[in-house]
Amino acid sequence: LCPYCVVGEATTTEHILPKDIFPEFAINVLNLIPCCSQCNSLKGEEILNTNNDKLILNLYTDILPKVQFLFIDITYNHNLNFNYRLSNVNNINNQLYNLIERHFTKLDLISRYKFKAIQLFAEIKNMYIAQHFSNVAEFDIFAQNQLNAHNMNIRYYGINHWKMVLEHACASSPTFKQFILDQLGF
């Protein structure tokens, strides 16, 4: 997958420093990164904003925090809705957190993650409904098992992977729980 978005398939090679502006780095291995065509296109030639701040994370040199900064809010009012958001509740260095925000904005990651969440949600919902819970305690046991599996998967995907954030929210959200119980007629 594309390391910029972890959504699209890495089918292109992206020049971190644009080859037209920095031809001397055009074939430098540390200036090349596999990525999806959408990220490649959205990144474009622009590497700094008007304040001379980097717009995109350099995944060779920028060390991502090991704390959560990507969250999802689940709301339920006749329909279930997912809204991803960034938050610095874990006190990430402001300079790095601002770069993460610019990266997400430049690559339109919040809306791309929401689109993927909508696709994955049917699978998650069906996985819960297929359990045919006979009481709320059975739901709680199943959700706890999902959280246990989720915690093992975080080691591979990372805590800020869009799918990990969604799975955790579904297994721990009272809103999602109510949605499933309503679907089962509780």
Divide the 186 residues of the chain into consecutive groups of 10 and give the mean pLDDT of each group: 95 93 93 96 93 95 96 92 96 98 98 94 94 94 96 95 96 95 90
pLDDT at 33: 95
List Cβ neighbours of 101 (8 Å cut-off, separation of 6 or more): 86
pLDDT at 79: 86
pLDDT at 142: 97
pLDDT at 185: 87
pLDDT digits (tens, 9 = 90+) for 96-139: 999 999 999 999 999 999 999 999 999 999 999 999 998 999 99
pLDDT at 186: 87
CA distance 32 to 43: 13
For residue 51, CA distances in Å to 55, 86, 135, 161, 186 come to 10, 22, 57, 29, 55
